[in-house]
Chains A and B, each alone.
Chain A
């Protein structure tokens, strides 16, 4: 498969084209009838996700080439971690979709692991809490603040039945060293990271039910951006982030940056076209 060879418009232009549609869609939720009319309008006309899908397989850069060994590491991690796809399938998720959300994080993990002393940050978090150290950890580069928010939102959105173990730390009560220690131990465990990812998708599905019927590629762009930028943010903010190029390898923030969701989409399409 060579999706890199088929070049058309730069990817970010297509997303920029879509954003106004999505923004209208989200704003209309709040204005009742007008929203419904606009929704109908959008779905009667050639829908944005259809427009989007036409371009889905035509873009560059070739992320495989750009990220080199870090890309290979990310691919191998998924290929060798058959248990991840099995677990996601058993739990009713599309593994390609779910793993596409975190695929850029695997690249990032590979590029950082040799350069960040994680242990010290773990110690700071356990001893002094989130205000002192809130850092990305593990394969999916999840922060303790993200984990805690997932735990809280599972309770808040009555989604806890499926993930009782995730909220066992009583996230709505005051934190102790023991609770923070347990959260770090979980985040260092690949299985728990996968559970947090599943829970993230469930919460997103619940928060954004209006996206249930759009094309998976479009939904993925929104979900992966939300994962990267903060899913608790308002939809227009997440959509503004969709075009932003903020992802880079390693520690040098001055290096070339790419769109997080674009990398997710690249992986997703490459899996689908296999």
Chain B
């Protein structure tokens, strides 16, 4: 009788284990099982998950010092070694490939943008047209395709104007810190600290009257479309960015907002580099050093490398994890 209970339980466990990946459509494949003492080399690897089919080739190290030896795993899955010096051919495919070491607070490269600005009257000369004069330009940025330019000018009346080269203009207050532009360049937001205009002749008196505003200025976001978001306490405002597909994300108070609407909450700080949102905005995932978690509650060992790709109009998240300290596993999940 006891045996029957055990078999029934085992049956359900196996059924659950088989069904979970099936429900989520996850494909799982063990690429390699590393030998005893083998660890992945730091840089002699090539994981091109954005290719179809994926290109995976890597090197492992065993031992240290003069005993150090290498094993090479080719794209065909074949393992060779040990060798004293690994053949660079194993990672040559990635030699010119710039890896995405996502930097959260990357600053725009404004080299050479002075040519668009007229410091005398605070106007912008762009594509043969003059925008302004609006006073003194205090912040500006340009879209990646160099088709759109956004700037903030301080007028003679000490008011701040946020404008672009399509004629859109928005009055703003607070201290502008950063102009964030969408990938297609057609829209942008400016991150502003505080609600007082620091250039206002009466700013000092206002600051004295409102010490909370002075000591703990809140964060506001002004859109070039006239929308305003905030206030967010500085201590709980984490980040704001555009996804590669052009959706706008705000990460504040442990909440992730997509195009102004709450998408999900996280219970610990997560870098924006570890958050993935599908192009449709219907699916999301986030990772820490231990796990990657999905909207449906499923989770997996944290990826060593991950890519979001669109193949035949369908989105996929592909990643590689090391499981049980020895199995290098490839995952592919509709996303």
Contact = CB atoms under 8 A, between A and B. Distances in A.
Given A114-B101, A120-B305, A126 B290 contact: yes
A16 interface: no
A124 B322 contact: yes
B243 interface: no
A132 interface: yes
Given A120-B304, A126-B290, A133-B40, A115 B325 contact: no
A119 B292 CA distance: 13
A126 B290 CA distance: 8
B289 A115 contact: no
Contact of B101 (A117, A177, A251): A117
Contact of A123 (B99, B102, B303): B303
Contacts of A119: 101-102, 273, 304-305
Contact of A131 (B39, B42, B301, B303): B39
B302 interface: yes
A135 interface: yes
Contacts of B101: 113-114, 116-119
A41 interface: no
A117 B100 CA distance: 7
Contacts of A126: 289-290
A28 interface: no
B98 interface: yes
Given A126-B289, A132-B39, A115 B98 contact: yes
B43 interface: yes
Contact of A115 (B99, B273, B303): B99
A116 B42 contact: yes
B39 A127 contact: no
A109 to B, nearest CB: 11
A134 to B, nearest CB: 9
A262 interface: no
B98 A114 contact: yes
Interface string B273-312: 1000000000000001110000000000111110000000
A184 interface: yes
Contact of A181 (B98, B289, B305): B289
Nearest to B289: A126
A169 interface: no
Nearest to B44: A251
A79 to B, nearest CB: 15
A202 interface: no
Interface in B30-44: 39-40, 42-43
Contact of B289 (A112, A114, A122, A132): A122
A116 B101 CA distance: 8
A177 B288 CA distance: 12
Contacts of B302: 123, 127
Interface string A80-121: 000000000000000000000000000000001111111111
Contacts of B288: 181
A124 B326 CA distance: 11
B290 A177 contact: yes
Contacts of A122: 289
B273 to A, nearest CB: 8
Given A123-B302, A123-B303, A116 B289 contact: no
Contact of B43 (A115, A177, A181): A115
B68 to A, nearest CB: 13
Contacts of A17: none
A128 interface: yes
A143 to B, nearest CB: 10
Contact of A127 (B45, B47, B102, B290): B290
Interface string B312-335: 000000000010010000000000
Interface in A172-192: 177, 181, 184
A120 B319 CA distance: 11
A228 to B, nearest CB: 16
Interface in B16-53: 39-40, 42-43, 45, 47
Given A122-B289, A124-B322, A127-B289, A117 B305 contact: yes
A147 B90 CA distance: 32
Nearest to A114: B98
The 10 closest A-B pairs by CB, nearest first: A120-B304, A126-B289, A114-B98, A117-B99, A123-B302, A116-B43, A135-B42, A132-B39, A181-B289, A120-B305
Given A119-B101, A122-B289, A133-B40, 4 more contacts: A116-B43, A120-B305, A124-B322, A131-B39
23 contacts: A112-B43, A113-B101, A114-B101, A115-B43, A116-B101, A117-B47, A117-B99, A117-B304, A117-B305, A120-B304, A122-B289, A123-B304, A124-B40, A126-B289, A127-B302, A128-B322, A128-B325, A131-B39, A177-B289, A177-B290, A181-B290, A184-B289, A251-B43
